């Protein structure tokens, strides 16, 4: 297999945050570390709260040429001036969302541990697929996305692949040759200094 480029970092926001307090934290992180994409991954479903968070993140991300996608809420992408959506139902809604958002929107699909779902998502319009968790998240997930899945994918499929969930430095070192992106978020937001936590976590990439 040809030597791969170093994986890029795909940043996931906390599931809940106050936009005013989070904005300077996010700005410092984006200024201090090269981020390929930012995912707004709120547990919140209130439209006003989501819009406030999206506005704060969009202003910071776009000022630094970092695209911002939102998790699940495809219907808010155009209204909030976002760059795309990260779908969490594997391939089920990819076709309809691609039709609704058009060719230019970023469309990602979380496919758990399923090679089949990943292939289907790619065939019907996803720009990337994510597999995970690759590590222990403490959420009681049914299974993990093993390194062999990523190795097969990168050998056989051109569509970019994202590794996420329960990452640590050891997993990043192990998966680096077989993934295009690491999606990181919960691993760093508990730290007093998320930027330093991200640097430590990704040290094996340097």
Average pLDDT over the chain reads 95
Top-confidence residue, 139 or 177: 177
Q: Per the domain annotation, does 2 fall within a domain?
A: no
Q: Per the domain annotation, does 131 fall within a domain?
A: yes
**DSSP states of the chain as a string?**
-PPPPPPEEEEE--SS--HHHHHHHHHHHHHHS--SEEEE--S---HHHHHHHHHHHHHHHHHTT--EEEES-GGGTTTTT-SEEEESSTTTTHHHHHHHH-TTSEEEEE-TT-HHHHHHHHHTT-SEEEE---S--SS--S----HHHHHHHHHH--S-EEEESS--HHHHHHHGGG-SEEEESHHHHTSS-HHHHHHHHTGGG-
pLDDT value for 1: 36
pLDDT value for 3: 53
Residues of the domain holding 28? 8-205
Domain with residue 58: its CATH number is 3.20.20.70
Q: Per the domain annotation, does 177 fall within a domain?
A: yes
Determine the Cα–Cα distance for residues 87 and 100; give it in Å rounded to an integer. Answer: 14
Q: Per the domain annotation, does 188 fall within a domain?
A: yes
Total domains, the chain: 1
What percent of the chain has a predicted confidence (pLDDT) above 70?
96
Determine the Cα–Cα distance for residues 40 and 62; give it in Å rounded to an integer. Answer: 13
Q: Per the domain annotation, does 3 fall within a domain?
A: no
Top-confidence residue, 14 or 143: 14
Q: Does pLDDT of 141 surpass 70?
A: no
Taking residues 1-11, what's their average pLDDT? 79
What percent of the chain has a predicted confidence (pLDDT) above 90?
92
Top-confidence residue, 105 or 44: 105
pLDDT value for 44: 87
Digit-coded pLDDT (tens) for 148-206: 999 999 999 999 999 999 999 999 999 999 999 999 999 999 999 999 999 999 999 99
Q: Per the domain annotation, does 62 fall within a domain?
A: yes
Q: Does pLDDT of 70 surpass 60?
A: yes
Q: Per the domain annotation, does 18 fall within a domain?
A: yes
């Amino acid at each position: 297999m040809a030597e791969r480029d170093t994986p890029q970092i795909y940043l996931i926001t906390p599931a809940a945050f106050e936009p005013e307090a989070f904005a300077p934290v996010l700005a410092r992180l984006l200024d201090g570390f090269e981020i390929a994409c930012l995912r707004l991954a709120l547990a919140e479903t209130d439209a006003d709260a989501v819009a406030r968070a999206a506005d704060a993140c969009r202003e910071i991300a776009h000022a630094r040429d970092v695209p911002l996608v939102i998790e699940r809420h495809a219907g808010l992408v155009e209204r909030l001036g976002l760059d795309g959506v990260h779908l969490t139902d594997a391939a089920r809604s990819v076709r309809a969302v691609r039709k609704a958002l058009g060719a230019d929107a970023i469309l990602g699909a979380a496919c758990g541990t399923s090679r089949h779902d990943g292939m289907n998502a790619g065939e019907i319009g996803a720009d990337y697929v994510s597999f995970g968790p690759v590590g222990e998240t403490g959420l009681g997930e049914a299974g993990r996305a093993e390194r062999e899945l990523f190795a097969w994918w990168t050998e056989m499929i051109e569509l970019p692949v994202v590794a996420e969930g329960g990452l640590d430095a050891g997993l990043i070192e192990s998966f680096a040759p077989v993934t295009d992106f690491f999606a990181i978020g919960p691993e760093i937001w508990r730290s007093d200094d998320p930027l330093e936590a991200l640097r430590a976590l990704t040290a094996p990439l340097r």
